[in-house]
Amino acid sequence: MAQKGKKTQTNSSLPLQILLYFNGWYFAFFWICEILIFVFKGTLFPYPGFYLAGDIVLLFALIPVETVRIFIGKKGNLTEKLPHLGVSLALCVPVFFVYMYYLKWQPYVLRVELILNVIPIIFLALESIFSIITMIRFAIA
């Protein structure tokens, strides 16, 4: 607790907090759009085997990982806890591969999916950069 008259320096990153906030809202939008796209693709395209079910299961598995990553990142940034930001940064890796799967490796990729998947990859890249910078600031202080 800060004493009266003493100034405390805040090392939290405002750009990181803004990115995490908007990424949370974008993820909800992305998830709803992907579900609708899978309904569209499932009715129009002949999916081989169980690929459609696997894609949908992967989308449902992304919910807890992305939610925990964003929550822990926000918490770590605001409380200036280095381990929390480290966990958030580590969770960027599996999330990145899920987005890359939806961008490149699924059987049918629509143009709208290209746009929908590039945006969170940009969010991830910027959040990773700002997380590393913020972690360095936390470690020095």
Q: Please give the structure tokens belonging to residue 9.
A: 């320096």
* CB-facing half-sphere around the CA of 1: CA atoms within 13 A: 2
Q: What percent of the chain has pLDDT over 70?
A: 95
What residue ranges do the domains of the chain occupy? Answer: 24-140
pLDDT tens profile 45-77 = 998 878 999 999 999 999 999 999 999 999 999
Calpha distance 31→49 (Å, rounded): 23
Of 58 and 8, the structure prediction assigns the larger pLDDT to 58
Please tell me the predicted confidence (pLDDT) of residue 37. Answer: 97
Please give the angle made by the CA atoms of 77, 79 and 82, to the nearest 5 degrees.
65
Q: What percent of the chain has pLDDT over 90?
A: 88
pTM: 0.91
8 Å CB contact between 131 and 91: no
Q: Which is nearest to 87 in space by CA: 98, 74, 100?
A: 74
pLDDT tens profile 87-112 = 999 999 999 999 999 999 999 999 99
Confidence of residue 39 (pLDDT cuts 50, 70, 90): very high
